[in-house]
Structure formats: C-alpha cells, structure tokens
Chain A
Amino acid sequence: MEIPYVVNPRKDTGLFNSKIAIWLFLASEVMLFGGLFSGYVFLRLGADYPWPERTLPVLPGLINTFVLIASSVTVVFAWASLKLRKWGAFKLYMGVTVGCAALFMVLKGIEYNVKFHHQALRLDDYTVIEGHLAYEKENGTYVVDHHGNKIEGNRIRVETSGLTFNSVRFHKSWVEDLLAQAAHRNTRITLATDLAGATTEGGPVEVLAKAGEPLSVELLERVQAAHLAARAHNAALRTADLRAKWADAKAANPGKRDWEFASDVNIDTAALAPKLLTEHSSVAFKVEPPVRFEFRPRDIREAATQSRLRDDTVVDGTLLASPMVFHHVDAIDFRHLAMKAVEKGQDPMKAIEDSWLIRNHAFAREAWQWHQGEVAKLEQQLTDDYGIDPQTGKPRREPTAKERYRIGWKEFALKAEQAGGVSLGFADKIKEEFMGPNYAARGEETFPHLEVPRDEIRFAAKFTPAWNTYYAIYFTITGLHGLHVIGGALVLAYYLFFCRRLYETNPEWLANRVEVAGLFWHFVDLVWIFAFPIFYLM
C-alpha cells in the first residue's frame, strides 16, 4: 500500500501528512511534560522540608545543555543538506547529532550513577548527613555476600541462635546468604527437631527430615513440597466433607432457606483427623554456636530478642548495636533542623548546638565553628558590597539559609585546604564536578569517619527518588527526557545508516522524514531548555 501525501502536501491542510501527525504527537508531549512541570511546582510549593535549591553540580548540566543545543543546530543543517541534495554534508551533520545524543546520555549516566551511590541520612533531630558508606571489614579483609559483592556498612546485626523459616514464603537468595554468613563465621545451622508426620492418607508417621540435618535450599524445598501437598490434600478432604454435609442438610430441611440451617452445617473435624496429612507451615533451625548475622535494614523488622524478615523468617537472638558507618561524611545540613526549631518557636542556632551530632562528634563541632566564621565573613562582605537598608537598619543582602546551615563537600574541602591539608590540581577538581568528591585523594582529614547509632536514624536513603520529592520529580522528568533522547537518536541514526537507497529513489521523502524527526528532536531540546534552569539553578 502506498502511503498518501508523504512528499506532496494535501490540498486541504497544505501539509504533508506526517507533519500533521508529528504535531499531534508533539501537542500530546507538550501536555505530558507540562503536567510534570506543574507537578514540580506543586511539590515545591507544598514541600514540608527545605527544598534542596541549587543542589546539583552545574557544570555537567551546562555541558549537556550545550551538547543538546549543538545537536539541535546540526539536525536543522542535516535537513537543509538533504533539501540541497548534499548527501555527504547530511551524513556529517546527522553523525554529529547522533554523537551529541550519545554524549548527553553518557554524562547523564555518570550523573545518575554518582547519585545512586551517595548516601543521605536524616537523624531523629532532622540533622541531615551525606556521604559514602564504609564496606564491612573483618580482620582486614572485606566481607562479601554469596554473590561475592562487598557489603555496605549499613546492616542490622543479630546474635542469632535460631531461625524459623516459613516453608511457603522463604526467599531462596536470602537462605543462600544466611548459609554464606554461617560458613564465614564457622557455625552450623541445623534442623532443631525431627520433621515427622503422615505423608499418605491413614499411613504411618514418616520422618521427613531428621534433627541435625543442615540447612539447605533443597531441604526447605522438600519440606515445602510436602507441606503444599498435605495442605492441598487436607483442603480437598474438608471441602468434600462440607459439600456432603450441605447436601444432607438440604435434604433434611426441605422448603427452608439455606441461612436458616447454615449454622448447623459443620465439618466433622474429629472424623476427618485420621485421614489428614501433616502440614509443616514452618521449619525451625538452631544456630550452633550462636553467631552474628547481618541483614539489610529494609529486609528486617528488628526487635530486642526476636526479629522478623520480610519473607516471614523469624530470627531468634539478641539485637546487637547496628550503627550506620560512614567512611566519609561529605556534607552536614542543619536546614531541616533549623526549620523545625523555628516552627516550634525555638532559636535555630541553639537547636543546632544541642543537636546529637554537635554534642557527640568533635569533628562536627569543629566544622560548625569554622563554618560560622565563614558565614560571618560572608555577612561582612555582603554588608560592605551592598550596604545597610536605611529604613530597616538591616543589611540589604544576607546569606541564604543554605549558606548559613549547610556545610557541603566544597566547604569541607576548603576547610582542609586552609588547614594545610590536601589540595587538588585543576584537572582533578574538574573531575570532582562530574564524579563527586574525591575521597581517596582528600582522605579522612577532609571527609571524616562517622558511626551513627541506629536509634538516631529517622530516615536513610541513597540519592534516589526515595530520598525526597525533589529527587523524585528530578528523576521522573530527566529520566523521561533521557528516554526521549534515546528514542529520537535511534530514529535519526536509522536515517543516517539505513536510508541511502531512499535518498537515491525519493530524496524529498527522506527530507520530509528528517524534518519530522527533527521537529521531535527540537522538542526534546525544548524540554531540556526548561529542565536545566529549573533543576540545576533554582
């Protein structure tokens, strides 16, 4: 079938059909991104925490903006080259466009990756701490999970003496992880008692597994199979019995409604008992000798003597101190704490002095004192530069809440440099703009070590959509925009690599196709023109 009006315009619209189509699509895209941006405004106006303004590194965003604008210019030139029938020029311009798209996505990928590995933590008193977690170490070597991956220093530790698995819901990979931890700590997880019961109707009691049998996924699966078979068998017996009882009752009560005699229709449990098979809904194991097992915080609901995993495994044992261990703290933020203090009518500076972090950690006290010196310098400079407002008697310009209450990684770096510590070269500093602070080079004298007791933690997350609504809407809009970049680049790359024959047979058609894809590409650029200042500069 030939598609009509792909080269020549239709008489009534004056346009070739694909142009109408792409504009309809772009109108719907305008509404989609418009809705998301209005969602951003809604979240920002309604935020009950200090909005993290100007929090993203500007340089990668700026470069990405330049890259996208450049690609928008080259895609127009690619189209113009086709119109002028210059295939070589078209290939060059389109190649640059697709290259720009790839560069954009690489930079975006680095930006996302840094966030996914950066830890944020809100304490009970609303102090926010940011940094990198340590990896668990024992006797100088890293502890690894059963996949061989290093374990982050953010675990709930239980001195475990017993484990009871739910034989239906147990999560295989966690069982393997427990086995790996048991092997690492030289303990044995063995079945606490004989698992015995009837496996055939009216049959003898059989031993499914003997006490002392070591824990394995295979054993749990065996119990699971027996349990599910028994459960299905027993349920079928009960159903059949109940059906028979109903039939009898209906025959005995002619003319009556079901509800009038329903309370008399019951399963005869005693008569059924000998025919039932033994169900094993849970399997208890003991851990000998008791050792420390570690669990991800999101997987366990911990309590003093008995904890529970998300797969219903019951962990018997004493809860141990389970601090969250920062290898490197790279920011301390008192904005939220100050906001809460003001809401309660308290003095924010007093509240900060009384915070858990300042009271318990010398490095934090020292950093805070140094920071106040810097704020005083800034205040003085602003007063010198802009003067005092004669009407109010206050300085015309004052430091922002962020400048007053947040000690970011650049401040930590500056403090260490002033103290004669590590100072990096220009190239390394540019690299830090993309990859975040260079912990290895700057070391612990710049970014200190910190252990936070579990009791002090209100909420913890990586810099993912989970952390706050700012990151949620940031990842939603930039992620969707990134998908548009990928989709657009695939179409443009198709024209670049697979349309030589179309160019030779019907160049005007190809030009129209490139124009339509170009319209989409400009729209993608247009979204970024708004996304960049809104997320990076406001």
Chain B
Amino acid sequence: MADTADDIRKSVRSYLLVGAVLFIGTAVTVLVATVPWLDVGRHGFDVWDAVLGLAIAATKATLVAAVFMHLNHEKKGVYWIFASGLVFVIALFGLVGLAKFDPIHDPFFNDGPPAPSVLENSASGG
C-alpha cells in the first residue's frame, strides 16, 4: 500500500500517531510501576504488575510491528517467515514451563518437610 507517493503522504499521520502512542505507553508503564495509587494487585511488584507491564509492552510491540514494520499489509511470505520464528520462541518459553511442571503433588517435596512439631509427634507416637 505504502508504495506510491500519495500513499506515503497519507501514512505519515499514522506514523506520528503510533509514535505518540509509544511515548504515552512508555510513560504509563513507568507510572503504574512507580506511583503507589496506580499500583495494581498487592502493594509493590507482584504478578499483576507483570501482567499489566507486559500487556502494555506487547501492545507497543504490536503497533511497531504492524505500522512501522508494515506487517499490517505485507505479502504472505513475510508472515510465514515471521510466524515460524515465533513458534520457536513460544516453544522456548514452554521449555521453562516444563522445568517447573510437576504432575505429582507430594507435600513433603513440594512444600518442604512437614513442620518440626509434626515430626516430633509422630516420633513419640511410634
């Protein structure tokens, strides 16, 4: 689309708009992380701060990819190449999940040994 001079003149507006959104998005990321009354979830950093921060980052990244990198109107070949890279990234994050995944729930291993008092009771009882 952005091939003829006219198209480019039209897209300049959207480039400026995206640039502004990126600046605002960055400011918002910092504000929600530093201003106490904008803090989501518990006080200080917790999983909801991570979700919110990464959601803003993902939105910004999508805008850059779609508008600046013209992924909103590319040829099919580019999508195939890019998607094949993304598949491996998702697989890599999946590997991290595998390292943490454990289908057997055993309180002795997963939550550490039982409290000392429990051990003492069973010892005296047996």
Interface of A toward B, CB cutoff 8 Å: 13-15, 19-20, 23-24, 26-28, 30-31, 34-35, 37-38, 41-42, 45-46, 53-54, 58, 62, 65-66, 69-70, 72-73, 76-77, 80, 83-84, 345, 382, 385-386, 397-400, 402-403, 518-519, 522-523, 525-526, 529-530, 532-534, 537-538
Contact = CB atoms under 8 A, between A and B. Distances in A.
The SS class assigned to the B binding surface is helix
Contacts of B36: 385
Interface in B78-126: 78, 81-82, 84-86, 88-89, 92-93, 95-96, 99-100, 115-116
Given A402-B44, A403-B44, A537-B29, A522 B99 contact: no
A13 B86 CA distance: 21
Which of A83, A525, A533 has its CB near the most chain B CB atoms (within 10 A)? A533
Contact of A398 (B26, B43, B69): B43
Contact of B88 (A23, A34, A534): A34
B34 to A, nearest CB: 7
Contacts of A537: 29-30, 33-34, 49, 53
A41 B49 contact: no
Contact of A400 (B43, B53, B57, B68): B43
A35 B85 CA distance: 11
Contacts of B64: 72, 522, 525-526, 529
Given A15-B75, A58-B34, A26 B68 contact: no
A42 B93 CA distance: 9
Secondary structure call for the A interface: helix
Contacts of B76: 14
Contact of B68 (A19, A45, A522, A530): A522
Pairs of residues from A and B, 4 with the lowest C-beta to C-beta distance, nearest first: A34-B89, A27-B85, A400-B44, A397-B43
A403 B43 CA distance: 10
B99 A73 contact: no
B26 A62 contact: yes
A73 B19 contact: yes
A533 B19 contact: no
B1 interface: no
A533 B68 contact: no
Contact of A35 (B5, B11, B18, B92): B92
Given A14-B77, A62-B26, A529-B60, A538 B50 contact: yes
Interface string B24-64: 00100110011011000011110001100110110011001
Contacts of B26: 62, 65-66, 69, 532
A76 B15 contact: yes
B92 A38 contact: yes
A522 B62 CA distance: 11
Contacts of B92: 31, 34-35, 38
30 contacts: A13-B75, A15-B75, A15-B78, A27-B81, A30-B85, A30-B86, A31-B85, A35-B89, A38-B89, A41-B93, A53-B45, A66-B23, A66-B26, A70-B19, A76-B15, A80-B12, A83-B2, A84-B5, A84-B9, A382-B43, A386-B43, A397-B43, A403-B44, A522-B65, A529-B57, A529-B61, A529-B64, A533-B29, A533-B53, A538-B45
A403 B12 CA distance: 46
A469 to B, nearest CB: 14
B45 A400 contact: yes
A47 B30 CA distance: 25
Contacts of B2: 83
